[in-house]
Amino acid sequence: MGSVEPYKTANGRRYRARYRTPDHRQVERRGFRTKRDAEEFLASVDVSKSRGDFIDPARSRVTVREVAEEWYSGQVQLKPTTRAGYRHLLDKHILPRWGDKQLTSVRHGEIQSWVGELAADRAPQTVRNVFAVLALVFNYAVRDNRIVRSPSAGVTLPRRVHTERGYLTHSQVRRLADECTPYGGLIMFLAYTGLRWGEAAALRVRDINVSRQRVEVARSVTEPGGKLVFGTPKTHARRSVPYPNFLAPMIETQVRGRGPNDLVFHSPDGSVLRNGNFRNRILRPALARIHTGYMDTDGTVIPADRIFPTVTPHDLRHTAASLAISAGANVKAVQRMLGHASATMTLDVYADLFADDLDSVSSALDRAITLATAAETERSTDVTRPDA
């Protein structure tokens, strides 16, 4: 227990409470109007110390901006694109609203209202991403013993909206590849291996094992702030991805006569093929040419998304998953091909692709009960059949 002492001020008598922190520093809190107020404060300090959740008021007298910057500077484990994304969300959404507020003054209700404001004119996933970074900042403050609990805990977020993915069929992949010349081989490669764009763009000749028809995915390239950064794949794990026989001639052509460190797929000048440039200069014009070719018998244009979906380079990764699953690949094989952290993640991401499995389950049950009924009928007949 600490001590309470009176002292004089210009406005009359006040009380101060002195106590020791868990690390044995003696501190005092001034400004109590009555002795009882000071004693109740000391009692709360003793309770918090006994529970192990004591918070030094001096450490709490900081702004959200100070804590956010401290948290961000320590995120050395993040990949460059993720780190750049966090920086963008801090600067655009979080710090303008919360940066100058005292850490301990932020209330749960304020955050809930703010989330509602964001949701009024932003996509649900954007709101969830912004909130996730704010929650990380407050969780860091809790771990750093600056606040007892996070005011972001329990905030209700907008529901995720399922967006239709651009799954292509085999014939659509080939059609798109034909329109994307001279990068048709890259379209086919992405649609049948499931590599992420950054993994394919960073692929070197030495990463291709032509004899085994394998691609060793060992690195990736990202563009945070427009700057090329090479690093490990998204999950930081290497993986070996097979490619089908019909891709072998194209891949052999891509690597023939080239050095082991040369890029397999590259821009016209031999440098890294950038996602934005490829989408704007190759993919979008190709899709526009495809879409203008679809007309009904009366000459009216058929909506493109009914015939040929508008896809991004990343949608070709989804296409690879779709084609593999429709061909009978099991979940574990698809997980390893895509480089997901677990088969559960693959099931969560591509749950819609396994809907047909429900039909096969019901069909299998139909067959099973039919066979069981036939067997039971046969046994009953054997039992009741009179002796010859």
**Is residue 296 in some structural domain?**
yes
Do residues 181 and 322 share a domain?
Answer: yes
* pLDDT score recorded for residue 388: 47
Asked if residue 128 belongs to a domain, the reply is yes
Give the domain range for residue 174. 170-346
303 and 183, same domain (yes or no): yes
Per mean pLDDT, which range of 87-96, 135-144, 160-169, 362-371 is the poorest?
Answer: 362-371
Query: For residue 303, what pLDDT is reported?
Result: 59
Question: Are residue 46 and residue 108 in the same domain, yes or no?
Answer: no
**386 φ, ψ (degrees, to nearest 5):** -65, 155
CATH number at residue 71: 1.10.150.130
Identity of the amino acid at 253: T
Cα–Cα distance for residue pair 205/143, rounded to 1 Å: 46
- pLDDT tens, 331-340? 888 899 999 8
Contact criterion met (CB below 8 Å) for 101 and 64: yes
Specify whether the CB–CB gap between 222 and 81 falls below 8 A: yes
Determine the pLDDT at residue 381. 67
The three-state secondary structure class of 14 is strand
Torsion of CA 153, 154, 158, 164, to 10 degrees: 80
What CA–CA distance (Å, rounded) separates 195 from 317? 6
Question: pLDDT tens digit string along 284-305?
Answer: 999 988 887 665 556 665 555 5
8 A C-beta contact, residue 93 and residue 99? no
218 shares its domain with 331? yes
- Clarify whether residues 192 and 332 are in a common domain: yes
Give the integer Cα–Cα distance in Å for 338 and 215: 12
Look up the CATH number of the domain holding residue 270: 1.10.443.10
Q: How confident is the model at residue 383 (pLDDT cuts 50, 70, 90)?
A: low
The answer to whether position 160 is within a domain reads: no
Render pLDDT for 49-77 as a digit per residue (tens, 0 to 9).
Answer: 777 666 667 677 899 999 999 999 999 98
Q: Which amino acid is at 157?
A: L
Answer yes or no: do 220 and 288 share one domain.
yes
**pLDDT for res 307:** 74
pLDDT grade, residue 110 (50/70/90)?
Answer: very high
Report which of 238, 273, 236, 235 is spatially closest to residue 254, judged by C-alpha positions. 273
Instruction: Give the closest residue to 21 by CA, choosing from 143, 138, 145, 105.
Output: 145
